Amino acid sequence: MDQILTANVASNLYWFGRYLERIEATLIEVVYHFDRIIDIDKDSGKDFYKILGVDLEYTDAKDFLNKAIFGDHQSNLNQLMSYARENAIISRSNMDTEAFGSVIELADLLKHSSHTSFNVDCRYIDYVLSLISEIWGELTRKQKRNTSDYFIRLGKLVEKVDFHTRLEKDKEFSIVLMEEIDQIVSILAPDAQFKPHDENDSFEVILNSINSKINKIIVED
């Protein structure tokens, strides 16, 4: 791990990992709520997006897919992917070449789809998810990890915890993720000391702890 990164590059690698993970997690939830809208609860999608701070209105399950993926709101996946693309461009020299190409391909796909009369279906979502899986695979196939790899991984894990806690799912899973986050923190900032967490800590305490770790690692140049 002999890379030296500027704070700007480290921050962009971190946020690239967060945005890509957010897109993936959102797509998985969208498919889940699509099925619920059809079979169980027509307002399931509204309830999910309310947690994300979005008032999503739709007429049926098919309309839900289109509004969820390309609707005019802050969780529009084309917009989120444009952020990830920008992060990747800024940190391009510290990113796997094939992974960078796949990021641009995915960004172009989402941009093109959002600017046409394209109707989203589950096959399209599965294809997008497969492209994301390819990107993660291209980023992790190396035997030796560089500093850049740890920042991307850190972003992915932090977003997992953030997304997981917003949905108030199993806290034990968040604690497991926190343990891996702490392992990465100890590699990137070996002198930093942080308190471990357990299931008695609130979701807010866990997220505040993560943010303090990030602030310790990504310091100004």
Alpha carbons 16 and 155: distance in angstroms, whole number: 7
Q: Is the pTM value of this prediction over 0.95?
A: no
Q: Return per-residue pLDDT of the chain as tens, 221 residues.
A: 556 788 899 999 999 999 999 999 999 999 999 999 999 999 999 999 999 999 999 999 999 999 999 999 999 999 999 999 999 999 999 999 999 999 999 999 999 999 888 889 999 999 999 999 999 999 988 767 888 999 999 999 999 988 888 887 777 888 888 888 888 888 887 776 666 666 677 767 777 777 777 777 776 44
Alpha carbons 129 and 151: distance in angstroms, whole number: 22
Collapsed DSSP state (helix, strand, coil) of residue 184:
helix
CA 1 from chain centre, in angstroms, equals: 24
